[in-house]
Amino acid sequence: MPSRPSASGTPRAARDGDGHAQAPSRRPETASARPGEGTEARRPWHPRPVRPDRPSGVTLRPGDSGPAVAELQRRLKEAGFYDQDAQENGVYSSDVQEGVFRYQARYSLFDDVPGDYGPATRRHLEARTRG
C-alpha cells in the first residue's frame, strides 16, 4: 500500500519499508535569526540602549514604606484609584497594591509586574498627576 501524506502534508513512512521519510525543514538555512528580517538586510543585533531620559527608579512593592509610598498614595487618590478617606501613612498595603493594579489595568500598562509600582507605571502616573 503506498504511503499518503498526513493532514499536515508531511510524508509518512511506508508501512512495508524500513526507512522513514524525512520531514521537510521548516526553517531554510538562509533565514535570519529574527522574524521580519530578510537575507538582504543582515545587520548585527544590538540590545536596546539604556535611555537616560527615562529614569529607572526604584520599584515599590507590598511591604515597602516611606515617603515615596506616601507620594504614591497621594497620586493614586488624585487619579481616583485609592480611597479618598484612606490615610497617607506611607505603607504599601494591599489597598495600595490594588489601586496600582487597577491603574495599570485601566491604562494597559504591562511593563511592570501587576500591582508593583515600577518605572513604567511611575512615569505614566507622574505625567497625569501633581503629587
What pLDDT sits at residue 131?
73
- Of 85, 124, 89, 83, nearest in space to 103 by CA: 124
Nearest to 121 by CA among 93, 94, 101, 96: 101
Predicted confidence (pLDDT) at residue 112 exceeds the cutoff of 50: yes
pLDDT for the residue 4 = 55
**Distance separating alpha carbons of residues 83 and 95, to the nearest angstrom:** 9
Q: What is the pLDDT of residue 17?
A: 54
DSSP character at residue 11: -
User: Over pLDDT 90: what percentage of the chain?
Assistant: 55
State the pLDDT at residue 55: 47
pLDDT > 70 fraction of the chain, expressed in percent and rounded: 57
Is the predicted pLDDT of residue 66 greater than 90, yes or no? yes
Answer yes or no: pTM beyond 0.75. Answer: no
Domains delineated in the chain: 67-128 (1.10.101.10)
In terms of Cα–Cα distance, which of 79, 80, 72 is closest to 97? 72
Residue range 31-44: mean pLDDT, rounded: 55
Tell me the pLDDT band of 50, cut-offs 50, 70 and 90. very low
* Burial status of residue 90 (CB atoms within 10 A of its CB: 0-12, 13-18, 19 or more): middle
For the chain, give the mean pLDDT: 78
Instruction: State residue 41's pLDDT score.
Output: 57
Q: What is the pLDDT of residue 25?
A: 54
